[in-house]
Amino acid sequence: MLLGILITALYLLCILLAPLTGSAEAAGNAVMEGAQAAIPFVLSIAGGICLWSGVLELLERCGASAALAGRLQPLLRRLYPRSAREEEILSALTENLSANLLGLGNAATPAGIRAAKGMAALGEPARDELCTLVVLNTASLQLLPAMIASIRAAAGAASAFDILPAVWLSSAVSVSCGLLAAALFRRLWR
């Protein structure tokens, strides 16, 4: 809500200041060029989303997703000891983490919401776990940054996946820092 108000205020400010600075024509041209460039860009990104969502569906149908879920459950039981006792929440957490590892934030979101709703229904004992879920979704450890690669390919990158080492390092550091901060705040507020 606040972000929407802020963006609207910035747009209005730009509209008001453009005639005063003499750049109204340039601003209008930039808006039209941006709108025209957005259409092919959005279509190419939609293609990437369809591709990787299809890959995720194939992984589920062939059982690879269940195998990955089995490998992730010990970690999830350690991170979410209270919530992992509930099979429905554990399933949503596994799906969420699997999609995030594949860089499919758009596919991870519905599972994260289901997990968060389940945790919220558990009440007070799961509050810290809900914070951990938010931290892990925000930091998002990615092994295969599918959406970023799709965006890079749509923007004309010669090799869309040449960023893998940087993504691995930065996502590992951000997840580690996020989990440390969550643990620190958990201890401070108890």
> Is the separation of the CB atoms in 83 and 44 below 8 Å?
no
Residue 50: give the domain boundaries: 37-188
Q: Are 89 and 118 in contact (CB under 8 A)?
A: yes
Exposed / middle / buried, residue 23 (Cβ in 10 Å: 0-12, 13-18, 19+)? middle
Q: What tens digit of pLDDT does each residue of 111-127 get?
A: 889 999 998 888 776 67
- How does 134-143 read in b/e, with b if 16+ C-beta sit within 10 Å? ebbbebbbbe
Quote the tokens at residue 11.
């747009």
Q: What is the mean pLDDT of residues 127-132?
A: 85
65 within domain boundaries: yes
The number of domains in the chain is 1
Q: Residue count of the chain, please give it.
A: 190
Residue 18 within any structural domain of the chain: no
Q: pTM of the full predicted structure? A: 0.69
Tokens of 44: 């190419």
Share of the chain above pLDDT 90, in %: 8
pLDDT bin (cut points 50, 70, 90) of residue 169 is very high
* pLDDT tier, 177 (very low <50, low <70, confident <90, very high otherwise): very high
- Whether residue 16 is contained in a domain is answered as no
* Predicted local confidence at residue 29, as pLDDT: 82
pLDDT value, residue 125:
66
Dump pLDDT digits (tens) for 88-113.
888 888 888 888 887 777 778 888 89
Q: Is the pLDDT of residue 33 over 70?
A: yes
Gap between the Cα atoms of 65 and 145, Å rounded:
17
Q: Is the dihedral of CA 164, 41, 54, 105 positive or negative?
A: positive
129 or 65, which is more confident: 129
Q: Is residue 172 part of a domain?
A: yes
The pLDDT of residue 59 is above 70: yes
